[in-house]
Amino acid sequence: MIFILYILSFIAFFLLGKAALGILYGKTREKELYWEDGFLTGGILCIGLAEAAHLAALFLHLTFADCVKIFVLLLGVALALAAVTVIWHAGRRKVPEGESREIRMGFSVWTKGERIVFALFFLLVIGQMIAIVAGRFVYMQRDMTVETVNSFLSTNTVYQVNPLTGQPYEAGMPLRLRILCLPTLYGILCKLFGLSAIQVVWTGIPFITLILCYLAYSLLARLLFADSRLKRGCFLALAALLFMAGDYAYGMDGFGLLHGGFWGVTIRGAVLLPYVISLVLRKKHKLAALCVVAEACIVWTLYGFGACIFVAAGLFVTERLIRYIKRRRNGKEEPVCGNS
C-alpha cells in the first residue's frame, strides 16, 4: 500500500501543480518553469487542502471521519479542475515548427563525466531512501506526531485528548499549535490507504519529503549552473553527500531529512526554503507567496511570519540594494540576478 501512496501522491502533485502553474503564469509558464515546479507546487497545494479540512474539523467540532471526507471532496474537486486545466492548456500550446522534442526538453548526448556524477548522485539518494524506508533511524525526541495521528484515529476526533497519554486534556494545548495541519494530513493518509501511523509518519512521508527536497535542489542546480549538466550533477551529488554528513546534530538540514522527514521544520528547511530561494531568484513571486502560506500551515511561526518570508524578503532587498549601488556607480541600471 505504501508504494501506491507514493505513486498516487506524485500523480496528484503533478496534476495539481501543472494546473496551478498554468493558472498563475498562463502562456508565460514555459519560461523558467520546469517539471520540478509542477511537483513542488502540487505538494504545497495538498498542504493547503489539508489545512482547509483540518481547520473545518477543528473549529466546527467535526469528527475525524468528517475531516477525511472534506479532504477527499476538496482533493477530488481540485484534481478534476486540474485535469480540465491541463487538457485545456495542452490544446492551446503551440510547438514551433521544426523544433524537435530533444531541443524542447533540453536533451542531448550525455558525456562520461555527466554519467558518473549523476550515477553517484542517484546511488547516494537510493542509499538515503533505503535508510528511510527501513525506519530504524527516526529521531523521536521532541516530537509527538505519530502519537497525535494515533489519537486522531483512535478517538475519531481532532485534538480532544492528550496524544501522549490518551487522557482528555485538562488545560488544553496552544491554539497556534492546534492550527497546524500535518498530523491531520498524515491521519487522512492512514485512513485512505489503510496504513498504520508508524508506516505513514516514519517511512511514507520522509520518503516523499526526500524526493521533494531533491526536486527543489534540482531547480537550484538549473538556476546556478544553467550552462552545464556536469556542474548540475556535481552540485546535486555534493548536496546529497552534505545531507548524509550533516546529520550530526539536531537542527541540521541532513538530520531533519534523514531522521525526521515528517517534521514541519524539515519540510520547511529541506523543501520550502530551497524552493523559495529558486523562485525569488527566478522572480516567481506568486509561487513564493504560496510557500510562505504553506509554511504557516505546518510550522509554528511568529503569527504568520516565518523563515520563508524572511528569506524571500532578504533576497529581494539584496537584489534592490545591488541594483541601487550599481546605478549609483554606473549611472544606469543593469540586470544582476539569476539568468533573468
Interacting positions 257-276 with other proteins (CB under 8 A): 259, 265, 268-269, 273-274
202 vs 207, beta carbon nearer other proteins = 202
Please report whether residue 197 would count as binding other proteins according to CB under 8 A.
yes
Exposed e or buried b per residue across 42-60, where buried means at least 16 C-beta atoms within 10 angstroms of its C-beta: bbbbbbbbbbebbbbbbee
DSSP 232-249: HHHHHHHHHHHHHHT-SS
Please report whether residue 252 would count as binding other proteins according to CB under 8 A.
yes
Give the separation between CA 33 and CA 27, rounded to whole angstroms.
11
Give the separation between CA 218 and CA 19, rounded to whole angstroms.
21
Say how many residues touch other proteins, by CB under 8 A: 88
Please report whether residue 2 would count as binding other proteins according to CB under 8 A.
no
| The only residue of 88, 123, 126, 228 in contact with other proteins, by rule CB under 8 A | 228
Q: What is the dihedral of CA 109, 111, 116, 121, to 10 degrees?
A: -50
110 vs 305, beta carbon nearer other proteins = 305
* Residue pointed to by grid coordinates 555534493: 238
107 vs 250, beta carbon nearer other proteins = 250
15 vs 240, beta carbon nearer other proteins = 240
Choices 1-9, 46-54, 60-68, 317-325; region in contact with other proteins by CB under 8 A: 317-325
Choices 19-27, 32-40, 77-85, 297-305; region in contact with other proteins by CB under 8 A: 297-305
Sequence-separated (6 or more) residues with CB below 8 Å from residue 246? 252, 253, 254, 255
Please report whether residue 35 would count as binding other proteins according to CB under 8 A.
no
Please report whether residue 122 would count as binding other proteins according to CB under 8 A.
no
What sign does the dihedral 218-224-228-233 (CA atoms) show? negative
| The only residue of 217, 262, 263, 275 in contact with other proteins, by rule CB under 8 A | 217
Please report whether residue 108 would count as binding other proteins according to CB under 8 A.
no
Q: x/- binding map, residues 229-248, to other proteins, per CB under 8 A?
A: -xx--xx--xx-xxxxxxxx
What sign does the dihedral 271-272-273-276 (CA atoms) show? positive
Please report whether residue 250 would count as binding other proteins according to CB under 8 A.
yes
Smallest separation (angstroms) from other proteins to the CB of 255: 5
DSSP 76-99: HHHHHHHHHHHHHHHHH--PPTT-
Q: Which three cell numbers stand for residue 4?
A: 501506491
Q: Is 144 helix (H, G, I), strand (E, B) or coil?
A: coil
DSSP 29: G
Please report whether residue 151 would count as binding other proteins according to CB under 8 A.
yes
22 vs 260, beta carbon nearer other proteins = 260
| The only residue of 94, 97, 109, 142 in contact with other proteins, by rule CB under 8 A | 142
| The only residue of 65, 304, 322, 324 in contact with other proteins, by rule CB under 8 A | 322
